[in-house]
Structure 1
């Protein structure tokens, strides 16, 4: 077999990134280029393509195999870094050994620590404190990419007859998988021509691509970035809404305080900032002509349950807008009460002297 294992880690690094300025900075010290899909059909439109960095080439020991490791990264303008750790499959590797190797790499804590260190270096190079990285909310994924696989040269679907794809995809060393689980994976299998294949699942994918084109794994990588941002902003909205709700319930405001107005402005600002970023993430990549890549993109998004997270974010943004309107109403009510008191006082000032006369 001729192929690679790609292990992904995707982290949110805070606010938006000025990619032009970052590119000038990194070109002074490393290989950096603006990312492009390999196809020349312009079927995929990428708004503000990410900056690609080659981080290192080294050796990595896994289950006694001295693997060739290439670490690359993409910096996305909406504030995310996707790190790819790519391992060349050693010659003579059996399928059973591949399953064990994939399982090891997907769960290797040392590899995760390596990813975190490289992201720290990138963030420091951006001039940001490491504390801006959200280490708790991240995405991980594995992609098994083959240019050739024995017995599958003419028809890539033969891989299901010759190899246990299901255990590899689900990273199961010993389990005997049910037919129901196998059918779920088969339902996410796609072919463009007889000799290529894409199997997309929620935690890993298998790609057979004789041309060596990385378009499909690039699309999957972007889907991971989309999912991460939705998860990040879902958590952020939970935090902001909890704070605003507690402010509404616990505080007792006098008519002379402008706390409602401040909370209203804060809620509105959060709504605008997050809405703008969510829209930016969604519009980063668009498919305009290539139905196959579009199908892969939709399948990856579906398997990663992107829509569920997007719906959750939309609902919480709607709640945030309602809270903002509530604070505006409360602030206006307090102002009206203050104006009424002022009018009463002024009338009293005018009327009371008449009684003394």
Structure 2
């Protein structure tokens, strides 16, 4: 069983700097076990830190890891190996996992990391947003079942596991929880819901890595969206207020205009870097996992919201810039008129004398 908690630690993380400060290893490249082309890899492989152990879930002790991404995010991971757990007991186990106070523990880990790695982080700051995601892995079932047989026999239990429920779900809720499924061979299956996934596969590590990255993508999308919201709220009132006096050559809007331009560029760059962090192109297994899980995370809706708010930021920037340019042009015209008027007055005075 796996639990991931995603945090934003700052604007950028120097992965080379992380290696110099603390023992870490690059996340292994995506394998080719399902014929994934070699060029579908991390653009800059994240660094993985082993943070220690956590108390047992069932009978086995778990491991805590931190996966650091160069665009400023970290994924705190908790992994427990499962014994031969009957599917009938999985719903109870999933509720137990969900009831643990892992979020508070993960936040302490993130705070410790930002303190230890502050020199490798540009503009270090732990954002208040957190995204969690849980993955249940079945690498073997006795007797062996095909993915079709697994769903046929344990459909209700799997839906309960994905929704952390102790009672069987209604047919509608069950089918919604099981909606996004991806399979490659007859004996593997990945089912992705909005807060949890179930993987039935002996070769599951790459699928887990893709889902971990998707959880990071969702966090960064929410982070960008919230930041844009705050700026729009702060500055829309300024746009509605018109200055009582003409804007001087040194405009009071200049810092606002600079902030808007900087925010627009930073948000667009962060969104682009997150989107390009893992190259998954074409109708391949991991690309299908990424697409299916992205639908459950409503990533496209978040990206649409970000694009719309970036357009609003662009409009605010243009409006303030146009207002400043117009007002300063009028001020310059007034200065020219005053200079001409003064010149005329001086000429008249000289003529009078």
The normalised TM-score by structure 1 is: 0.89
Aligned residues: 341
Please name the residue that 1:144 is paired with.
136
Between Structure 1 and Structure 2, the one with more strand by share is: 1
1:344 to 328, 333, 337: 337
1:160 to 151, 162, 183: 151
Worse-matched range after superposition: 259-268 or 338-347:
259-268
Distance 1:103 1:333, change over 3 A: same
> What are the within-5 Å matches in structure 2 for residues 24-173 of structure 1?
24-27=20-23, 31-39=24-32, 41-42=37-38, 44-60=40-56, 65-91=58-84, 93-109=85-101, 111-127=102-118, 132-135=125-128, 137-151=129-143, 153-163=144-154, 164-173=157-166
| Aligned-partner SS, 1:198 | strand
> C-alpha separation between the residues in 2 aligned to 1:115 and 1:56?
12
Structure 1: tracts of 5 or more residues without a match: none
1:140-187 deviations in Å (ceiling 9; x for gaps): 111001110223x2412222233221111111102x322222323343
Asked if 1:234 corresponds to 2:225, the answer is yes
> C-alpha separation between the residues in 2 aligned to 1:18 and 1:81?
12
Please name the residue that 1:216 is paired with.
207
1:252 to 218, 243, 246: 243
Q: Say if 2:181 and 2:191, in contact at 8 Å, map to a contact too.
A: yes
Distance 1:251 1:70, change over 3 A: farther
Please name the residue that 1:321 is paired with.
314
| Aligned-partner SS, 2:169 | coil
Distance 1:35 1:24, change over 3 A: farther
Please name the residue that 1:8 is paired with.
4
> C-alpha separation between the residues in 2 aligned to 1:350 and 1:303?
73
Q: Say if 2:11 and 2:124, in contact at 8 Å, map to a contact too.
A: no
Please name the residue that 2:267 is paired with.
274
Distance 1:138 1:58, change over 3 A: closer
1:296-355 deviations in Å (ceiling 9; x for gaps): 110011110000000000111111111111111011112112111111111111112344
| Aligned-partner SS, 1:207 | strand
| Aligned-partner SS, 1:337 | helix
Please name the residue that 1:202 is paired with.
194
Please name the residue that 2:301 is paired with.
308
The normalised TM-score by structure 2 is: 0.90
1:284 to 277, 284, 290: 277
Q: Say if 1:23 and 1:33, in contact at 8 Å, map to a contact too.
A: no
CA RMSD of aligned residues (A): 2.1
Structure 2: tracts of 5 or more residues without a match: none
